[in-house]
Amino acid sequence: MKLANKSTNKHTYWNPYYGGFLLGILIILTFFLTGRGLGASGAMKSSVVTIVDKVAPTHAENNAYYSKFLSKGDTPMNTWLVYEALGVLLGAFISGGLSGRISWRVQHSPKITSKRRLIFALGGGILFGLGAQIARGCTSGAALSGMAVLSTGGFITMLAIFGSAYLFAYLFRKNWI
């Protein structure tokens, strides 16, 4: 009975505990192999520095922030964090394609429009990016990698992430329920 139901359900996902276990193993291996944890904000930083360098090279060279990441004969895109982010995107598309979950749709509550959902998603993404820049790293780098090395800051970051998520989820619940 379970197999028949599983084959007709096109939205079958991995067990989240299995995924979490594999993420933990991946973080440990990343520390072992590279000496640092996972994080997507480093790849985004490399992409932004590369774009600014291509569009306005003089500005990039004279800017204190951008110039730290520029070197003659090498590109900021030549870092393992960029390849990690590309691998995550590619893996997500492969997983979605194999399970039939790739489509152009906007999932939202019946109480709001697709436009409002997209505006909230864009606003949240911008705030998330600004917060990652202010914090000098994204949640995966600060919380998951911090907790993997038993850093007090990692645990505090994770508590702050979930605490603020619960607070804002309550304030914005009418957009989802």
pLDDT band at 4 (very low <50, low <70, confident <90, very high): very low
Of 25, 20, 29, 39, the closest CA to residue 142 belongs to 39
- Mapping DSSP to helix (H, G, I), strand (E, B) and coil, where does residue 1 land? coil
Kindly report the pTM of this predicted structure.
0.64
Contact assessment for residue 30 and residue 38, using Cβ atoms and an 8 Å cutoff: yes
Angle, CA of 44, 49 and 54, to the nearest 5°: 125
Angle, CA of 134, 160 and 24, to the nearest 5°: 95
pLDDT of res. 55: 95
Of 51, 71, 46, the closest CA to residue 61 belongs to 71
pLDDT tens by residue, 27-67: 888 888 877 777 777 788 888 899 999 999 999 999 998 99
DSSP designation for 65: H
Distance between CA 142 and CA 134 in Å, rounded? Answer: 12
Question: Residue 108's CB: how many other CB atoms inside 10 A?
Answer: 17
pLDDT tens by residue, 80-133: 888 888 998 999 899 888 878 888 888 877 888 889 889 988 998 898 888 877
Does pLDDT of 1 surpass 50? no
Enumerate the domain spans of the chain. Answer: 104-177
